[in-house]
Amino acid sequence: MSILVDAATMQARRTIARGPLAPLAQGLRTELAPVLTGAIEIPRDKALLSRVGGRCPNDGTLLRFDPLDPRHVCPMCGLEVSGELHDRFRPYWYQLWLAERVLHAAVIGVLLDDAECLHAAWGVLDGYADRYLEYPNRDNVLGPSRPFFSTYLESIWLLQLVLAVDILESGATHSATRGARVRERIVEPSAQLIASYDEGSSNRQVWNDAAMLAAGILLDDARLIDHALDGPSGLSELLSGALLADGSWYEGENYHLFAHRGLWYGVTMAERLGRPPSAALTRRFDDGFVAPFRTLLPDLTYPSRRDSQYAISVRQPRFAESCELGLARCDDRRLIGMLARLYDPAVAARDTGRRASTADVERNLPASGLTRADLSWRSLLFARATLPPLEPHPLASDLLPAQGFGILRRDGGRCFVGLDYGRSGGGHGHPDRLNLLLSDGDVRWFDDPGTGSYVDESLHWYRSTLAHTAPLVDGRSQPRVDGELEAFEDSGVAGWMRARADLAPGCTVQRTVVVVDDYLVDRVEWESDEVHEVAIPFHGVRVVGRDGAPIAGVPAAIEGGDGREDGFAFLADTMRVEPDDAPVRLASDAAGAGGAALRGWIASSSPASWWSAVVPGPPARDSQPLVLVRSAARRGAITSVWSWRGAVRSAELDGDAVAVGRIDGSVHVHRSTGDGWSIDRTTDTPRTIELGRGLAADPLVASSRARWATDDSTTPARRLSLPVRASLGAAHYRRSEQSWEEAGRPTCVVSLERSGDRLVVRVDVPRAERRFIAIDAENPFDNDPAAIHGDGVQLYVVAGAEASGWLLVPIPDSAHVARRTADGWSDTLPIDATWRPSSDGYSLTASVTLPPGTISFDADVLVNENTPGRSRRRGQLVLSGSHDEFVYLRADRHDRDRLLRFAFAVP
């Protein structure tokens, strides 16, 4: 048997490798030239990790790796260096490169019946069988290893070799003796060594498991297989504990890609073995293909959260391959949309570095245009023969509730505002809970700098709260805590996120970020029994005066924690600044996307001191100015307004109200309303926007929680207490041909409340044509009720044993509402409904009598909408969220699992 694919699939892939994927197969074949001509040598020494080896002494950048050129050259500054430590680091890359070439040669050899490739693959395997046991298992950095200094590297290396042997042995001719020798002299001892070292829920353990599983299958060793699948840190444990319920890896985006690729091997092999993970965990794994793309910045790099490398673009082959492997398993419009971007022929192609790729250890390169010919052997075996039409899919506002990262996007995805609040992220985490991120196109205003070299002093700066746009308490970096979401909602015109974290004993800090089209309001509030000083660093800006010119400060030390990772030791040119105005004005030196600078207005509820400094920029970038605002109180708030496209002229911050004066003369007055946030506008309609009023949490949040809670996750299902009121917008829109924006941003407000034993559902649609189609009208197109294609409401309620669903359509010139029982639902719950027109729309009220004693129930509300000139509905707003779905072919059916969970408040 073959470890990854069965014989029939292998046969089918031969046709594909000679057909639609021939350019990929031929490209890999060409790059094998040095292996085929014997221009390679298996390293004699084991790899050595040192501070110096492999890095540029000027800028700390990883030196270039070229398998055919042993010189050590910096790709950043061009410096060539030499020395034993560099020479001893190089086998790290070389061994991985060579092992991957063996696998390439095996795959190409079998798929294309290429004897030269088969011969070369066995040749290297023979060489490794001679040498493996000669590498000393000592002087390692992170776990036992012979050729390397860390176990997981040996795991990745061994995995390549095991898969290569397996594929070679699936071919027509092979030598049993050679295979036995590789098993005995490499696979068996290496697998035992890997099994001796358990790395818990680290991303590295994913690779240890994958290698043990592959080796266990090749050796027919049931104990090793069981250990890799079901051991204490086996595949199941990692899928359930380290891959979070939203499909994201707990250590952040950078590790996500690396870990998920390892999980791909594990899951693929487990499925072949007939021992797949549970359905819920398989779904979670499949969600993992999309997860890293949900948080992308507008420039298609991912936010450099935690110990990520800085500004890594997804325009690299392995990201395209991840989309391909995901699509090979299941359809997902987001993956297709991402491939449309990655395969965009308008993007210039550069060297993708595949010729020198080092198996599954990532070496990031600058963005490049890509095609399917740039992928790897995995795609030769797994990618679809042909792809569906690649349609771009706009990046949308999104929430990863398990990871704890909310994103509000504006201007078709060009503008990004993130609130990183949730998981602290383990050993690779940073003390940056409640971190604010702001990006406009290619310009990063509030940035997460990631981390440079692990062996450089700067690591401690990047691991400080000060290096982020996150609050710190009492002059120290935050403790390692997880934050909690309070609200996440995008109503289209405005969106907001609110989260909190206990950043000092007894001191809870809450951050609210409200985004209107081209500006945001940020409020950091704290509450405690004792006085605490809360400080917020803002990078890349200076304090400016009324005239807009920077205010020079007075040189003064900035006091703060003396811990290495408190970060204060990295501050240079420190000054105390006396602002000349309230609120205090800040501005960037640099201009952004539209030529406008970033401008800020900040006020503090208690007296504040203002400080400036020069601090390190992101790794290998210039240093930059920093403004630090500090205020001490038992409870307080620091509120700011930020404008990045020149749309804001002034901001007044008085007490609770924030008045934003816009360049067009209009004014937006923001107020916190306890659990919600309201915005009064002088010119636009609707005049008032209410965010989150009466909501314990947004339905989107609740639905995500409820959805994930049906998995075996630890997040409990949360029931929303009545009354509930929700504004539905972009995140709730199930579209047809037009996006929510293109459809004119339809919205509605849905409220649910209790009246005696009745559930009262009210739907206010502010803008509608009031095109009501008679409930029994004939549908000339298909068997679906014609009435779904006009304005109207679909209501679903499950209470006790009853599951009722209705299509409700107002009857013109009356207060009556016609109804039909929705497909697949009953009408056993008694219902009454009325409607009335409003100035530009309508409102409909339905009251449903629930069974006696009901304390909790499930419900969902869908609002159909259309526009003149269309015969079918344009879309519908869905209370439980659209999850990027289309409205097609749904008629008035609805999936019971989608209903939100509610409870009557305890009287």
Strand-pair category, 519-539 with 900-903: unpaired
Closest to Zn ion by CB, 59 vs 198, is 59
Closest to Zn ion by CB, 430 vs 732, is 430
Taking CB under 5 A as the rule, does residue 743 contact Zn ion? no
Tell me the longest C-alpha to C-alpha distance in the chain: 91
Cβ(610)–Cβ(591) below 8 Å = no
Burial of 274 (0-12, 13-18, 19+ CB in 10 A): exposed
Strand-pair category, 900-903 with 720-721: parallel
Taking CB under 5 A as the rule, does residue 74 contact Zn ion? yes
**Of 352, 283, 268, nearest to 314 (Cα)?**
352
Cβ(468)–Cβ(537) below 8 Å = yes
> What's the min distance (Å) between Cβ of 429 and Zn ion?
8
CB atoms within 10 A of CB 888: 12
Closest to Zn ion by CB, 79 vs 141, is 79
DSSP secondary structure code for residue 302 in this structure: P
> What's the min distance (Å) between Cβ of 416 and Zn ion?
17
> What's the min distance (Å) between Cβ of 593 and Zn ion?
24
Strand-pair category, 584-591 with 572-577: unpaired
Number of residues that bind Zn ion (CB under 5 A): 9
Closest to Zn ion by CB, 59 vs 474, is 59
Closest to Zn ion by CB, 430 vs 734, is 430
Taking CB under 5 A as the rule, does residue 56 contact Zn ion? yes
Assigned token pair, 836: 């009335």
Closest to Zn ion by CB, 425 vs 805, is 425
Strand-pair category, 758-765 with 842-849: antiparallel
Closest to Zn ion by CB, 57 vs 655, is 57
> What's the min distance (Å) between Cβ of 45 and Zn ion?
25
614 Cβ partners below 8 Å, 6+ apart? 571, 572, 573, 623, 624, 625, 626
In this chain, which stretch among 76-84, 266-274, 634-642, 668-676 interacts with Zn ion, using CB under 5 A?
A: 76-84
Closest to Zn ion by CB, 461 vs 601, is 461
Three-class DSSP labels, 8-69:
HHHHHHHHHHHCCCHHHHHHHHHHCHHHHCCCCCCCCCCCCCCCCCCECCCCCCECCCECCE
> What's the min distance (Å) between Cβ of 37 and Zn ion?
32
**Of 287, 282, 245, 289, nearest to 267 (Cα)?**
282
Taking CB under 5 A as the rule, does residue 77 contact Zn ion? yes
Taking CB under 5 A as the rule, does residue 549 contact Zn ion? no
Cis before 812 (ω within 30): no
Backbone angles phi, psi at 295, to 5 degrees: -110, 10
Which helix (H) or strand (E) segment holds residue 380: the answer is helix 377-382
Q: Which residues pair with 798 in a beta bridge?
A: 803, 858
Closest to Zn ion by CB, 58 vs 175, is 58
Cβ(523)–Cβ(434) below 8 Å = no
In this chain, which stretch among 68-76, 240-248, 715-723, 846-854 interacts with Zn ion, using CB under 5 A?
A: 68-76
> What's the min distance (Å) between Cβ of 59 and Zn ion?
4
Q: Which of residues 197-226 bind Zn ion (CB under 5 A)?
A: none
Q: Pattern 5-44, binding to Zn ion, x per CB under 5 A?
A: ----------------------------------------
> What's the min distance (Å) between Cβ of 89 and Zn ion?
15
In this chain, which stretch among 277-285, 424-432, 849-857, 889-897 interacts with Zn ion, using CB under 5 A?
A: 424-432
**Of 652, 658, 655, 607, nearest to 629 (Cα)?**
607
Closest to Zn ion by CB, 236 vs 469, is 469
DSSP secondary structure code for residue 688 in this structure: E
- At position 319, the amino acid (one-letter code) is F
> What's the min distance (Å) between Cβ of 95 and Zn ion?
24
Closest to Zn ion by CB, 56 vs 628, is 56
> What's the min distance (Å) between Cβ of 302 and Zn ion?
13
> What's the min distance (Å) between Cβ of 543 and Zn ion?
25
212 Cβ partners below 8 Å, 6+ apart? 155, 191, 194, 195, 224, 225, 227, 228
Collapsing DSSP to helix, strand or coil, 337 comes out as helix
- d(CA 897, CA 899) in angstroms, rounded, equals 6
Taking CB under 5 A as the rule, does residue 552 contact Zn ion? no
> What's the min distance (Å) between Cβ of 449 and Zn ion?
6
Q: Which of residues 426-445 bind Zn ion (CB under 5 A)?
A: 430, 432
Among 62, 73, 76, 667, binds Zn ion (CB under 5 A): 76
Q: How many CA atoms lie within 13 A of 327 on its CB side?
A: 24
> What's the min distance (Å) between Cβ of 259 and Zn ion?
18
> What's the min distance (Å) between Cβ of 458 and Zn ion?
12
Task: Calculate the CA 201 to chain-centre distance.
Answer: 19
> What's the min distance (Å) between Cβ of 460 and Zn ion?
12
Closest to Zn ion by CB, 58 vs 666, is 58
Burial of 495 (0-12, 13-18, 19+ CB in 10 A): buried
Task: Calculate the CA 634 to chain-centre distance.
Answer: 36
In this chain, which stretch among 57-65, 551-559, 674-682, 729-737 interacts with Zn ion, using CB under 5 A?
A: 57-65
Closest to Zn ion by CB, 144 vs 252, is 252
In this chain, which stretch among 30-38, 50-58, 230-238, 699-707 interacts with Zn ion, using CB under 5 A?
A: 50-58
Assigned token pair, 559: 């006091």
Taking CB under 5 A as the rule, does residue 673 contact Zn ion? no
Closest to Zn ion by CB, 467 vs 749, is 467
Taking CB under 5 A as the rule, does residue 58 contact Zn ion? yes
Cβ(842)–Cβ(770) below 8 Å = yes
Check the CA dihedral 878-515-309-195 and report its sign. Answer: negative
> What's the min distance (Å) between Cβ of 466 and Zn ion?
11
Strand-pair category, 720-721 with 724-728: unpaired
Taking CB under 5 A as the rule, does residue 423 contact Zn ion? no
Q: Which of residues 79-98 bind Zn ion (CB under 5 A)?
A: 79
Closest to Zn ion by CB, 157 vs 250, is 250
Closest to Zn ion by CB, 54 vs 785, is 54
Which helix (H) or strand (E) segment holds residue 837: the answer is strand 831-837
Among 59, 116, 482, 741, binds Zn ion (CB under 5 A): 59
Closest to Zn ion by CB, 435 vs 747, is 435
> What's the min distance (Å) between Cβ of 457 and Zn ion?
16
> What's the min distance (Å) between Cβ of 474 and Zn ion?
20
Which helix (H) or strand (E) segment holds residue 461: the answer is helix 459-462
Collapsing DSSP to helix, strand or coil, 431 comes out as coil
DSSP secondary structure code for residue 716 in this structure: P
Residues that bind Zn ion (CB under 5 A): 56, 58-59, 74, 76-77, 79, 430, 432
